[in-house]
């Protein structure tokens, strides 16, 4: 839980690749041993010779009796085997055709994922202990898969090649339906086909891993209702041995392919940038950590050098800005003074012109009255001047007579 999403994706890819490699190795070993046993006829010999006489099996399976279907187990097994091969082969063929035809990497990956994930599910569906359950489960899967790619969540998985997949799946379901209709009577066909369609409608597929509701629960409930003794509940031991042989052959035929397809899916995801991106990011992060470690060692000297360079740049920038501001201030001051002087001169000149204009207008408006007033003022000034001159002359005259009288009087003290 403490890992990041990128680390979890990385570990998931690595673990998936390792699991696929181990599984491929084990299946190769199992294939060798099983092929040897099958070639020797060991499984049929053992089951037939040692266990064949333990019980007598009914001709019909348990679900055949429950559904009241009159068909033998051996015939049901043959139909199941053919349906399995047809379904798996159709999926593989169509997926390969889509991958060969398309140039869209998403469509190609969806086709590869389809056959890699669907064929193991097909194998599990067609292999149950009861033969009719195997057939019915495979039939249900074919209906569910058709609905998934025709109208369900996978309806756009293959782009322009979607009709190819839908037509192939329709052919599979049609062959199964026709085969069932041939071997069953009308009532039996109606009961089985209704169950298949009702189940596929009730539990549709919603994922490309084809995880679905198992039909085995219905078989378990049916086995509880039908009471059979011993090995008769599932069939003769010879039939079980044949089923096991066919199941092993089916798995041996497709398991190496499925493992190869899963490996191709992993390789596709590793090439996909959305998946491999986190891995590359982790590598980049390791490189970043190494570079960060080297940077931490050189950090003091780097910081000192950067600080000196920064201080020098700041001082040079401050000096440049200061000089620029001084020049701009001087220029602005001279410009402001020039504008103020010009405005003062303009205002003074305008005021003088206004005063002169006002005086001239006033004089012109006064006319003769203004002239008479001025003449009267001037006349009064002239009269006042004459009066002052006369007054001054009288004063001088009396002063002069007083001086003469005083000079002629002998009794007057002299200035000694």
The answer to whether the CB of 58 falls within 8 A of the CB of 228 is yes
Q: What is the mean pLDDT of the chain?
A: 74
Report how far apart the first and last C-alpha atoms of the chain are (Å, whole number): 144
Which pLDDT tens digit goes with each residue over 123-146? 999 888 778 888 889 999 999 999
Give the pLDDT band of residue 22 (cuts 50, 70, 90).
low
**Residue 11 and residue 18 in contact, taking contact as beta carbons nearer than 8 Å:** no
Question: Are 116 and 92 within 8 A, CB to CB?
Answer: no
- Position of tokens 């003449």? 375
**H-helix or E-strand spanning residue 281:** helix 273-366
Q: For residue 35, what pLDDT band results from cuts at 50, 70 and 90?
A: very low
Q: Does the pLDDT value for residue 55 go beyond 70?
A: no
In contact, 119 and 212? CB cutoff 8 Å? no
Cα dist from 3 to 8, 235, 278, 280, whole Å: 6, 52, 13, 17
Nearest to 46 by CA among 245, 297, 256, 278: 245
Average pLDDT over residues 364-388: 77
Contacts of 50-55 with CB under 8 Å at 24 or more apart are: 51/237, 52/236, 52/237, 52/238, 54/230, 54/231, 54/237, 55/229, 55/230, 55/231, 55/232, 55/236, 55/237
CB 128 within 8 Å of CB 84: no
pLDDT at 156: 94
Provide the Cα torsion 115, 116, 120, 126; round to 10°. Answer: 0
Nearest Cα residue to 239 out of 47, 11, 9: 47
CA dihedral over 39, 42, 47, 48, signed as positive or negative? positive
With a threshold of 0.75, does the pTM exceed it? no
C-beta contacts of 251-254 below 8 A and 24+ residues apart: 251/123, 252/31, 252/34, 252/35, 254/88, 254/119, 254/120, 254/123
Query: Which residue has tokens 């679905």?
Result: 212
pLDDT higher than threshold 70 for residue 107 = yes
pLDDT reading at 236 higher than 90 = no
> What's residue 317's pLDDT?
79
Q: Contact 64/137 with Cβ under 8 angstroms?
A: no
Across 201-205, 281-285, 345-349, least confident range: 281-285
Nearest to 158 by CA among 110, 230, 210: 110
Whether 130 and 63 have beta carbons less than 8 Å apart is answered as yes
What pLDDT does residue 397 have?
Answer: 81
Whole-number pLDDT of residue 42: 40
- What pLDDT sits at residue 5? 57
The backbone torsions φ and ψ at residue 53, rounded to the nearest 5 degrees and listed phi first, read: -95, 10
121 closest CA partner among 184, 195, 188, 208 = 208
**Which 8-state DSSP code applies to residue 414?**
P
Q: Do residues 83 and 139 touch, judged by C-beta distance below 8 A?
A: yes
Per-residue model confidence as pLDDT tens digits over 271-309: 665 555 565 566 566 666 676 677 677 767 777 787 788
pLDDT of amino acid 61: 52
* Mean pLDDT across 218-237: 47
Contact between 86 and 122 under an 8 Å Cβ cutoff? The reply is no
Nearest residue to 141 via CA among 111, 121, 116: 121
Contact (Cβ atoms closer than 8 angstroms) between residue 165 and residue 101: no
Q: Is the model's pLDDT at 37 over the cut of 50? A: no
Tell me the C-alpha distance between 401 and 394, whole Å. 11
Report which of residues 316 and 153 the model is more confident about.
153
């Amino acid at each position: 839980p403490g890992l990041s999403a990128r680390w979890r994706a990385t570990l998931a890819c690595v673990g998936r690749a390792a699991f696929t490699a181990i599984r491929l190795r084990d299946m190769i070993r199992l294939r060798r041993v099983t092929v040897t046993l099958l070639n020797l006829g060991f499984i049929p010999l053992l089951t037939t010779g040692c266990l064949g006489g333990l019980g007598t099996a009914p001709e019909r399976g348990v679900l055949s009796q429950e559904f009241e279907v009159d068909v033998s187990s051996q015939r049901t097994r043959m139909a199941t085997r053919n349906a399995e091969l047809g379904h798996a082969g159709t999926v593989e063929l169509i997926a390969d055709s889509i991958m060969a035809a398309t140039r869209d990497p998403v469509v190609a990956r969806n086709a590869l994922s389809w056959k890699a994930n669907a064929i193991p599910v097909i194998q599990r569906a067609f292999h149950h202990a009861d033969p009719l359950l195997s057939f019915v489960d495979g039939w249900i899967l074919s209906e569910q898969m058709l609905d998934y790619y025709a109208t369900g969540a996978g309806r756009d998985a293959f782009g322009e090649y979607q009709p190819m997949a839908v037509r192939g799946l329709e052919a599979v379901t049609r062959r199964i339906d026709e085969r069932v209709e041939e071997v069953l009577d009308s009532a039996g066909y109606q009961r089985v086909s209704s169950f298949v369609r009702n189940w596929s409608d009730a539990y549709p597929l919603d994922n490309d891993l084809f995880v679905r509701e198992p039909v085995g629960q219905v078989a378990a409930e049916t086995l509880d209702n039908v009471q059979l003794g011993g090995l008769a509940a599932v069939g003769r031991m010879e039939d079980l041995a044949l089923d096991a042989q066919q199941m092993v052959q089916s798995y041996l035929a497709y398991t190496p392919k499925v493992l190869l397809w899963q490996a191709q899916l992993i390789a596709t995801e590793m090439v996909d940038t959305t998946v491999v991106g986190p891995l590359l990011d982790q590598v980049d992060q390791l490189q970043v950590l190494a570079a960060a470690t080297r940077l931490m060692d050189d950090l003091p000297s780097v910081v000192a050098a950067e600080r000196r360079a920064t201080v020098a740049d700041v001082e040079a920038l401050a000096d440049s800005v200061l000089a620029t501001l001084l020049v701009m201030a001087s220029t602005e001051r001279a410009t402001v003074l020039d504008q103020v002087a010009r405005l003062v001169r303009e205002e003074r000149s305008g005021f003088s012109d206004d005063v002169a204009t006002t005086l001239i207008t006033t004089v012109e408006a006064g006319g003769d009255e203004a002239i008479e007033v001025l003449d009267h003022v001037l006349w009064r000034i002239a009269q006042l001047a004459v009066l002052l001159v006369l007054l001054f002359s009288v004063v001088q005259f009396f002063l002069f007579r007083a001086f003469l009288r005083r000079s002629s009087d002998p009794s007057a003290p002299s200035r000694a």
